Amino acid sequence: MNQGITVSEKDELIMRLVHYFVTKENYSPIVVNGVKNEIWLENLEAEYKIVRINSNYIHNKEQLDFDIYKILNVSKQISRKTLTRKLKTLNILTDMNEEIKYENTKNIDTFIVKEDEDLKNRDGLLSLFPLLNESEVKDIHGLDFLLNVSNDINNKTESENKFYENIFKPKKIVITKVLIIINVLLYILTFILSLNNIDLVYYLGLNNILVRNGELYRLLTCGFMHADLIHLICNMYSLNIVGTQMENFIGKKKFIIVYLISLISGSLLSCVLNTGWSIGASGAIFGLLGSLLYFGYHYRVYLGSVLKSQIIPLIIFNLLLGFMIPSIDNFGHIGGLIGGILATMSVGLENKTQKSEKTNGIICLILLILFLSYLLFIKK
């Protein structure tokens, strides 16, 4: 049927490797400028963040050393882009002089794979990837092989593209708008009651003495009170921007959980370190910034430049501003920021946060709340 269509053993071997890493290990192809006859794949959630398959012939030790040098340079570029400190690389060579002696370099593990039999070597790649020799296409050759491999890779890529498209596409924003409406209505109510000499801030604002006396609801209600119109406008403007993004990214249920936990953790730290009154949604908003920071790190392949140029500088600037202006409750901001990161880690990001990471997030969040509660209610 497919007579006349031939695929070299070397090309077939490379395609089998690519097929396995893309379809079974969730690696994605990346474009590296200035290289020929090389395939680069990345999965920042895997032990080996980078898999590089080189089909060029390595004929002497000097050429091998230069090849390693090239990998280190490309890895540095990827590391800077993705904010990944330790970028471990799996280097697969398919054509190297057998007389060359080589040793693994720091963060680069090199394997020689020249033929299918090498994939069965239990001391080779098979020791790291036990399913490597169980590919569905291992007994297919020629045109059928190319079609099957291409279809599998295309289907996998299309599925991932749909997933990421769903994450980033605009969705209907509900929770953020509801939170803004509640804040605005409570401000209007506060203003109306103040005309009758009733200070709603006194009944709902955050005060460590009153919280210690059992009025725990203030840990939550304080986040919906604002001192004046400027205070309200600034916070609602920030909430609209950051809240819209995070509700869109992580979904409504996770968003409200992160918001409320951030608010409470910010209030707790404020009560521990601040002896005065504190009100405003900024602690919860900082929690959303922490959530955005966590999200941006896990999606740094897509948001790497935004993470470095916008998100991190915005957080640092606002924290520094809080330390410079005495009227700003920066302890509430810091508590909210930490709470937002841990809360997002606890609820997890779809296809990104592993079960163990979610468990660690829950444990750390519980320990944070217990520690702050101990400082507030027991160690006075």
Q: What are the residue numbers of the active site?
A: 282, 333
SS3 call for 98: coil
Residue pair 85/307 in contact by the 8 Å Cβ criterion: no
DSSP annotation of 328: S
- CA distance from start to end of the chain: 84
Residue at 351: amino acid letter: N
**DSSP characters for 238-285?**
HIIIIIHHHHHHH-HHHHHHHHHHHHHHHHHHHHHH--SEE--SHHHH
Q: Distance between alpha carbon 264 and the CA centroid of its chain, in Å?
A: 23
Tell me how far apart the alpha carbons of residues 143 and 149 are, in angstroms, rounded to a whole number: 10
Structure tokens at 376: 């507030």
Tell me how far apart the alpha carbons of residues 104 and 90 are, in angstroms, rounded to a whole number: 10
SS3 call for 217: coil
Tell me how far apart the alpha carbons of residues 117 and 137 are, in angstroms, rounded to a whole number: 15
256 Cβ neighbours under 8 A, 6+ residues apart: 175
Structure tokens at 158: 């299309």
Nearest to 49 by CA among 84, 9, 96, 92: 84
